[in-house]
């Protein structure tokens, strides 16, 4: 009879580390997602108080993060460098913070962070439960979460409290579960979230009606699968048997169809250039695969959007990979399971 496998758990606490090196160790862990600094550009103390208790659920990573007041940021350069195609779902259990657009997060609130988008937040002393969700694991749920990036989901909303209870129950139950049980429970929690977020009242005012959202999802997936084709409002209208005016209305929140196509082509090229498995493809091939007619045209558009050249993105991705491989063994004493588990998702 096979012995049940317990859920892999890793613990990190700066109290276990020489005070002179605590910030470096903290950055080695949480730095997989964010650049760290102090509010108002104050000097970062070396003796930072922080910790992570994290478990590997196979398809996702789930854990508690706690730290003192700090600023957590992701800018376009960071997004280009690490190419983290994940969404973070956070439940604040203690403390909170203020987002860049002055939303005040308090205990009981939830926050969605799409790692493919810039983020800037000053956290007070806090403790939160964070689910690291690979976008491809649950595409429909990810499509619901991405528009909520950076928006406060208030704990005053009973549906948010219902979702939060699911998070807390999962975390409390994991120590007694096998890996198989925990994986099933995690998928059940994702189903709960998807059911809650599917309600119209859960969506911010800027998001269109559920019908338009559903249509936009279908069309968006078609666009992503056919970026090399000559896609136009007319061709999309014909493919989906809709009027061009309907197509225009659906993509109005994205600045129009042409703007959406342009952005998706550039974002896709960024992903291909950043990922090691596509390193054998030359830049011109990637440009054509993403729907550009010439490498020079592609390079100009890419630099205008990301403020960096395609060749430099590829070079930075290679350098980051080499640094990680070189430093992996040297930094193992400071790292919890979080960085390795996230990279393996």
Q: Domain check: are 221 and 151 in the same one? A: no
Phi, psi of 128 (to 5 degrees): -140, 155
Whether residue 334 is predicted with pLDDT greater than 80 in this model: the reply is no
Q: Domain check: are 231 and 96 in the same one? A: no
Of 2-11, 131-140, 159-168, 304-313, give the lowest mean pLDDT range. Answer: 2-11
246-281 per-position pLDDT tens digit? 888 888 878 888 898 999 999 889 888 887 778 888
Q: Please report, for the domain that includes residue 225, its CATH number.
A: 1.10.10.60
Q: Domain check: are 235 and 187 in the same one? A: no
53-80 per-position pLDDT tens digit? 999 998 999 999 999 999 999 987 787 7
Q: Domain check: are 145 and 24 in the same one? A: yes
Look at residue 207 in the predicted model and tell me its pLDDT: 41
Q: Domain check: are 280 and 141 in the same one? A: no
DSSP bridge partners of 121: 72, 99
Token pair 């390193």: residue:
279
Phi, psi of 142 (to 5 degrees): -60, -35
Q: Domain check: are 17 and 78 in the same one? A: yes
Domain span holding position 279:
210-307
Confirm whether pTM is higher than 0.75.
no
Look at residue 200 in the predicted model and tell me its pLDDT: 45
Q: Please report, for the domain that includes residue 75, its CATH number.
A: 2.60.120.10
**Residues 133, 60: contact at Cβ < 8 Å?**
yes
**Residues 31, 74: contact at Cβ < 8 Å?**
no
**How far is C-alpha 36 from the geometric centre of its chain's CA atoms?**
17
Q: Domain check: are 163 and 238 in the same one? A: no
Query: Is 320 a member of any domain?
Result: no
DSSP bridge partners of 122: 71, 98
Q: Domain check: are 109 and 221 in the same one? A: no
Q: How confident is the model at residue 283 (pLDDT cuts 50, 70, 90)?
A: very high
Number of domains in the chain: 2
Token pair 């956070």: residue:
90
SS3 label, residue 135: coil
**Residues 71, 97: contact at Cβ < 8 Å?**
no
Sign of CA pseudo-dihedral 174, 177, 178, 182: negative
Q: Domain check: are 330 and 221 in the same one? A: no
Q: Domain check: are 201 and 292 in the same one? A: no
**Does an H or E element contain 237, and which?**
helix 233-239
CA trace torsion 186, 190, 192, 195 (10° rounding) = -160
């Amino acid at each position: 009879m096979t012995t049940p496998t317990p859920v892999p758990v890793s613990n990190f606490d700066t109290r276990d580390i020489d005070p002179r090196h605590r910030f470096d160790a903290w950055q080695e862990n949480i730095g997989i997602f964010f650049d760290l600094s102090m509010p108002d550009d104050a000097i970062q103390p070396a003796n930072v108080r922080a910790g992570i208790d994290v478990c590997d659920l196979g398809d996702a990573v789930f854990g508690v993060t706690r730290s003192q007041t700090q600023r957590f940021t992701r800018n376009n350069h960071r997004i280009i460098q690490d190419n983290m195609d994940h969404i973070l779902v956070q439940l604040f259990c203690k403390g909170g913070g203020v987002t860049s657009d002055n939303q005040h997060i308090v205990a009981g609130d939830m926050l969605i962070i799409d790692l493919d988008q810039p983020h800037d937040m000053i956290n007070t002393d806090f403790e939160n439960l964070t689910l690291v969700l690979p976008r491809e694991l649950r595409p429909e749920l990810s499509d619901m979460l991405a528009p909520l990036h950076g928006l406060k989901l208030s704990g005053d909303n009973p549906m948010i409290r219902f979702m939060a209870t699911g998070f807390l129950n999962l975390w409390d139950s994991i120590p007694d579960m096998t890996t198989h049980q925990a994986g099933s429970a995690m998928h059940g929690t994702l189903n709960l979230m998807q059911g809650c977020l599917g309600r119209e009242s859960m969506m911010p005012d800027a998001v269109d009606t559920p019908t338009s959202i559903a249509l936009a999802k279908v069309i968006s997936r078609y666009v992503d699968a056919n970026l090399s084709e000559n896609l136009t409002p007319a061709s999309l209208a014909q493919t989906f048997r809709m009027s061009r005016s309907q197509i225009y209305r659906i993509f109005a929140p994205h600045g129009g169809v042409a703007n959406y196509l342009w952005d998706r082509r550039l974002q896709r090229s960024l992903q291909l250039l950043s990922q090691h498995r596509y390193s054998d493809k030359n830049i011109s091939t990637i440009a054509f695969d993403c729907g550009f007619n010439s490498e020079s045209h592609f390079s100009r558009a890419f630099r205008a959007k990301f403020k960096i050249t395609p060749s430099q993105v590829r070079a930075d991705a290679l350098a980051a990979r080499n640094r990680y491989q070189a430093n992996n063994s040297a930094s193992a004493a400071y790292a919890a399971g979080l960085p390795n588990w996230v990279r393996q998702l």
